[in-house]
Amino acid sequence: MRIAHKLLLANAAVIVPIVAIVGLLSYRSVERGFLAYVRDLEMARLAPAVERLGRAYGAEGGWDFLREHPECWGEMLQREEPEPRRGPPPPPPPPNEDAPPPRDNPPRGDPRDPPPRPRPPPPPPPNEHAPPPRDERGPPNDAAGHDPLELPPRAALFDANQKLVVGARFSPDAASLTPIRWHERTVGYLGVVPIRRLERELDLDYLGSQRRQIGLVAGVAVVLGLVVSLLLARSFVAPIRSLARGTERLRRGELEARVAVGASDELGQLARDFNALAKTLSDAEIVRKQWFADTSHELRTPVAVLRALIEAIQDGVREPTPETLASLHEQVTALAKLVDDIHDLARLDAGELRLEKRPLAPGIVLGRIFAAFEARFASRKLTGEIIGASSEAMVRGNEVRLTQLFTNVLENCCRYTNEGGRVRVTVEATPREVLLRFEDSPPSVPKNELPRLFERFYRSEASRSREHGGSGLGLAIVERIALAHEGRVVAKQSVLGGLCVEVALPRC
């Protein structure tokens, strides 16, 4: 099943039971509320009967008349309004002698006036022997349509001591008792057993209509909920499908694949992460291709020189003199150094070069290396200066790799600093780390090229000339060794006018 179908089924599994429960509870609430309404209406309809019973009690002096004549019990519960008397109409009022006599010919008015309305004929004289007119509406009912004659099976009259006088036999505790008062004194109770369920067709029709309306509303709610769930599921699945298509493109090697970021939620963040991953892979592929190109370029030069020298000796163009052999040895040494640097860098990148660390003072190690470079400085007519070499601030490190780090940085200073310049090394201890700054005099490096100095085979010269020597991997190895010691290395412009390489190692 697809994710959209799963989300739709999950929402349906939640929406349908909830709507069904809410609909059932709503119907039960309507049924109970309507039943309570019918009960209250029934009790309100009995208020005139309670007053009639109180007056009858006062007129008869007790309840014995109902005990002796129980057939009057039903009549007492009827409405109090008497039937209208059917007989001859009352005589007309006597004539008023002071009134002017009627005019036989009224004055003619405006001919535009409408003609007078004809008088209705007088009603026929009543027939005293005719049966009373039949009321087509039947006996009078209350607002709820309940006939009072339906109450006697559920109604009873109790005296002041709650003893049964007349009516249905049931316990007073099972009925709703309405006190009957006469002269501010309770003389009895009218008890009615509340109805337990609706049986009249009108009431059942009303509840049926309510049931249908609630069912219709519940059905509409379920349909709307499922439609909204489907739309939400599609909105959730659309970014996932876009990510799936982007991943398939990456799998095929299309590293320029990107996906649209259409939201700021988790799916939008996932799309941004995917784009960042694709860019990283694309950059890594560019670096890999550049790595192969640079490696082949760096290896081609010493190999080409060796090949030319050897072929010249073979052809007899050059003699195997000590100078020729020294040139061959120099090229082989440069080639071996390049291969060693590539091997070390590969091991550092792969994490295969395990460093056995121990506490040591980097300032003292750097002091020994700086002393060994005095001859190298003299050959380049450079002035070397070290500050803080006696610092005993300790770090946990590998002395061999730190020696390689310091040597590469000092060799970089000697190779790229103009003759007659300066090289200054400073060792500074802070509470958390040891800072080692390698500064030299001009030439400097443009600011936009400083972050790229630690890339493999990168040189600040646009022509990538090998005039100054070096493999272009020295500072890249420096960065990897610093990271292996949980430190950092940055390049910036020096106050001496050249380059400043700052190495920070955490103190132990």
Cα within 13 Å of Cα(129), Cβ side: 0
Residue 451's Cβ-count burial label (10 Å; 0-12, 13-18, 19+) is exposed
Q: Confirm if 131 and 34 have CB atoms less than 8 A apart.
A: no
SS (H, E, C) 171-188: CHHHCEEEEEECCCCEEE
In a structure prediction context, what are the per-residue pLDDT tens digits for the chain, which is 508 residues long?
Answer: 677 778 888 888 888 888 889 888 888 888 888 888 888 887 888 888 888 888 888 888 888 888 888 878 877 776 444 443 344 444 554 554 554 444 444 444 444 444 444 444 444 444 443 444 434 333 334 433 344 435 567 788 898 888 988 888 888 888 888 899 988 889 999 888 887 777 677 777 888 888 888 888 888 988 888 888 888 888 778 888 888 888 888 888 888 888 888 777 778 888 888 888 888 888 888 877 776 776 776 677 678 878 888 888 888 878 888 888 887 887 787 777 777 777 776 766 666 566 788 899 888 889 888 888 888 888 888 888 888 888 888 898 888 888 888 888 888 888 888 888 899 999 988 889 999 999 998 888 888 888 778 776 666 553 334 444 555 677 887 888 888 888 999 988 888 888 999 999 998 8
Q: Which residues contact 348 (CB under 8 A, 6 or more apart)?
A: 477, 480, 481, 484
This prediction has a pTM of: 0.46
**What is residue 179's predicted lDDT score, i.e. its pLDDT?**
92
CA nearest 23: which of 153, 168, 210? 210
Q: Tokens 């190779």 label which residue?
A: 415
**What is residue 495's predicted lDDT score, i.e. its pLDDT?**
87
Q: Confirm if 409 and 386 have CB atoms less than 8 A apart.
A: no
Q: Determine the number of helices (DSSP H) and then strands (DSSP E) in the chain.
A: 11, 11
**What is residue 424's predicted lDDT score, i.e. its pLDDT?**
92
Q: Tokens 């008792």 label which residue?
A: 177
- Segment (H or E) for 166: strand 164-167
Q: Confirm if 470 and 401 have CB atoms less than 8 A apart.
A: no
Backbone angles phi, psi at 466, to 5 degrees: -100, 25
Q: Which residues contact 245 (CB under 8 A, 6 or more apart)?
A: 259
**What is residue 349's predicted lDDT score, i.e. its pLDDT?**
66
Q: Measuring CA to CA, how many Å separate 195 from each of 154, 174, 199?
A: 8, 11, 9
CATH class of the domain whose range is 355-506: alpha beta
Q: Using CA of residue 343, residue 452, residue 402, residue 443, what is the dihedral sign? A: positive
**What is residue 438's predicted lDDT score, i.e. its pLDDT?**
92
In the chain, where are the structural domains located? 355-506
Q: Confirm if 340 and 373 have CB atoms less than 8 A apart.
A: no
